[in-house]
């Protein structure tokens, strides 16, 4: 599963970096990078409808299908770029299709962890997957500027197609591996084929049950901060190409800032396990958000006049976010019943996606009427607000250490 995660994330990271910069380079308009962020977030919104499918359908078949779709999308982009027929609307339309397959794959991996890994090792497993993601992001971020400057577009799409072909081959091996496990094959062999009406009825019931569980006040008090975090982060992220181009003057600067974000995420993921052992979550969450908020504000103020100091604050801000993501991910594997993990996960992702959609569009609009560092400043202020909300909320401030979190907290 880790090998499949690595290859999927390789293609996903390269696709994101290339598309974001390419759209800015073709249009020279931050509005289109905002639109690309909107399209990336749309995949999370559509992922809302995939939760019941992931819970009910064969996960090994789904992994195979999602990998195949990604490969053919990139193969199509390579063929079009080789003929010189790549247009901005076409690039924008390819984003939600490709990214939805990635989001489904990540959700499937998350549902496999409680099945394949012992409960006391869930935090470690989530950390490994997160470090795998951010480590690959770090690698591509470090070379992004060089890749964008030295290679033709068709060459980059060809390499990305080959990466996703490797992901498809890995999915085939994983398909065979999971076929040997009884828990993955019993439902496929012992149940009769339902009618289309029964499938639709079951799908609606599963979707409704996931929404009802997320509306629980305890889960909702955890989802709301994630929604706010995603809104402010998306507002900042879509302006990163324009901001880095002004500060550093080239694509190399964009790659440098992405590298700093990835370094911070890895550091936060590595520290998350120790932090959750030493501190109650009710105390830890507000402190991480406040640390991240203050760091984003200082980064936006100092990155131009004191680049090294600004870079340090960028790493710290990203580190706090990396730790928050790992802790939230583990919580949402522990709290819901095992057969509802995918539904809760995709409902959460969809709510977060709506916030990201709004943040991406808002970020593109704000930078047209203000300085390009303002979205970064607003991101820091937003994190401080979220930290204060989690500090005063009675349900979140009483959360215990993560090893004591059980379903009965609902």
Higher per-residue confidence, 101 vs 180: 101
Give the model's pLDDT for residue 193.
Answer: 44
In this structure, the chain runs to a length of 410
> How many domains are contained in the chain?
1
Give the model's pLDDT for residue 203.
Answer: 54
Strand, coil or helix: 84 = coil
Give the model's pLDDT for residue 292.
Answer: 92
Give the model's pLDDT for residue 189.
Answer: 46
pTM of the model: 0.64
Query: Considering Cα of 9, then 316, then 44, then 146, what sign does the dihedral take?
Result: negative
How far apart are alpha carbons 257 and 291 in whole angstroms?
Answer: 19
Give the model's pLDDT for residue 316.
Answer: 94
- Where does the pLDDT of residue 341 fall: very low under 50, low under 70, confident under 90, or very high at 90 and above? low
* DSSP annotation string for 360-371: HHHHHHHHHHS-
Give the model's pLDDT for residue 190.
Answer: 44
- Mean pLDDT along residues 9-17: 79
Give Cα 245 distance to the centre of its chain.
24
Higher per-residue confidence, 402 vs 137: 402
Give the model's pLDDT for residue 290.
Answer: 94
- Where does the pLDDT of residue 5 fall: very low under 50, low under 70, confident under 90, or very high at 90 and above? confident
Q: What separation in angstroms does the CA of 16 have from each of 34, 41, 408?
A: 13, 12, 39
Higher per-residue confidence, 33 vs 271: 271
How far apart are alpha carbons 382 and 296 in whole angstroms?
Answer: 10
Residue 215 has pLDDT above 80, yes or no: no
Burial degree of 152 (CB within 10 A; 0-12, 13-18, 19+): exposed
* DSSP annotation string for 179-191: HTSHHHHHHHHHS
Residue 355 has pLDDT above 90, yes or no: no
Higher per-residue confidence, 3 vs 197: 3
Residue 227 has pLDDT above 70, yes or no: yes
- Mean pLDDT along residues 73-94: 82
**If we measure between CA atoms, which residue out of 127, 132, 134, 99 comes closest to residue 113?**
127
What would the pLDDT profile of 150-202 be if each residue is shown by its tens digit? 677 778 888 888 888 888 888 888 777 666 554 444 444 444 444 555 555 66
Identify the weakest region by mean pLDDT among 54-63, 191-200, 209-218, 309-318: 191-200
CATH number at residue 58: 1.20.1250.20
Q: What's the DSSP call for residue 400?
A: -
- Mean pLDDT along residues 369-375: 80
How far apart are alpha carbons 55 and 50 in whole angstroms?
Answer: 9
Percent of the chain with pLDDT over 90: 9
Q: What's the DSSP call for residue 126?
A: H
What would the pLDDT profile of 244-301 be if each residue is shown by its tens digit? 877 877 666 777 787 788 788 888 888 888 888 888 888 899 999 999 999 999 998 8
CB of 357 closer than 8 Å to CB of 229: no
How far apart are alpha carbons 141 and 259 in whole angstroms?
Answer: 5
Give Cα 270 distance to the centre of its chain.
18
What is the overall mean pLDDT for the chain? 77
Higher per-residue confidence, 330 vs 129: 330
State which residues form the domain around 257. 2-409
**How many other C-beta atoms can be found within 10 angstroms of the C-beta atom of residue 166?**
19
Q: What is the largest CA-CA distance in the chain?
A: 67
């Amino acid at each position: 599963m880790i090998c499949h995660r690595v290859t999927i994330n390789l293609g996903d990271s390269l696709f994101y970096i290339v598309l974001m910069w390419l759209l800015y380079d073709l249009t020279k308009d931050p509005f289109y990078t905002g639109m690309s962020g909107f399209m990336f977030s749309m995949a999370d919104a559509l992922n809302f409808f995939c939760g019941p499918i992931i819970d009910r359908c064969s996960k090994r078949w789904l992994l195979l299908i999602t990998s195949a779709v990604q490969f053919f999308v990139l193969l199509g982009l390579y063929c079009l770029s080789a003929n010189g027929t790549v247009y901005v609307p076409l690039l924008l339309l390819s984003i939600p299709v490709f990214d939805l397959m990635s989001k489904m794959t990540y959700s499937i991996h998350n549902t496999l962890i409680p099945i394949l890994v012992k409960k006391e090792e869930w935090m470690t497993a989530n950390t490994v997957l997160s470090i795998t993601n951010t480590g690959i992001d770090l690698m591509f971020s470090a070379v992004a500027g060089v890749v964008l400057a030295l290679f033709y577009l068709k060459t980059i799409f060809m390499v990305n197609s080959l990466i996703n072909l490797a992901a498809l081959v890995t999915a085939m091996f994983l398909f065979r591996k999971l076929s040997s496990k009884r828990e993955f094959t019993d439902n496929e062999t012992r149940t009769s084929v339902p009618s289309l009406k029964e499938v639709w009825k079951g799908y609606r019931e599963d979707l409704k049950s996931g929404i009802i569980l997320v509306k629980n006040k305890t889960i909702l008090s955890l989802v709301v901060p994630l929604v706010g975090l995603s809104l402010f982060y998306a507002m900042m992220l879509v302006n990163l190409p324009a901001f880095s181009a002004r500060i550093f003057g080239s694509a190399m600067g964009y790659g440098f800032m992405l590298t700093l974000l990835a370094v911070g995420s890895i550091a936060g993921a590595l520290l998350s396990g120790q932090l959750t052992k030493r501190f109650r979550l009710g105390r830890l969450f507000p402190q991480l958000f406040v640390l991240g908020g203050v760091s984003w504000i200082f980064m936006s103020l100092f990155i131009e006049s004191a680049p090294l100091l600004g870079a340090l604050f960028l790493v710290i801000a990203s580190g706090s976010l990396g730790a928050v993501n790992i802790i939230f991910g583990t919580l949402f594997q522990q709290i819901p019943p095992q057969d509802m993990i995918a539904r809760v996960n995709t409902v959460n992702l969809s709510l977060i996606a709506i916030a990201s959609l709004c943040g991406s569009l808002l970020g593109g609009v704000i930078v047209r009427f203000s300085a390009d560092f303002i979205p970064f400043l607003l991101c820091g202020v937003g994190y401080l607000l979220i930290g204060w909300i989690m500090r005063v909320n009675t349900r979140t401030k009483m959360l215990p250490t993560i090893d004591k979190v059980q379903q009965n907290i609902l």
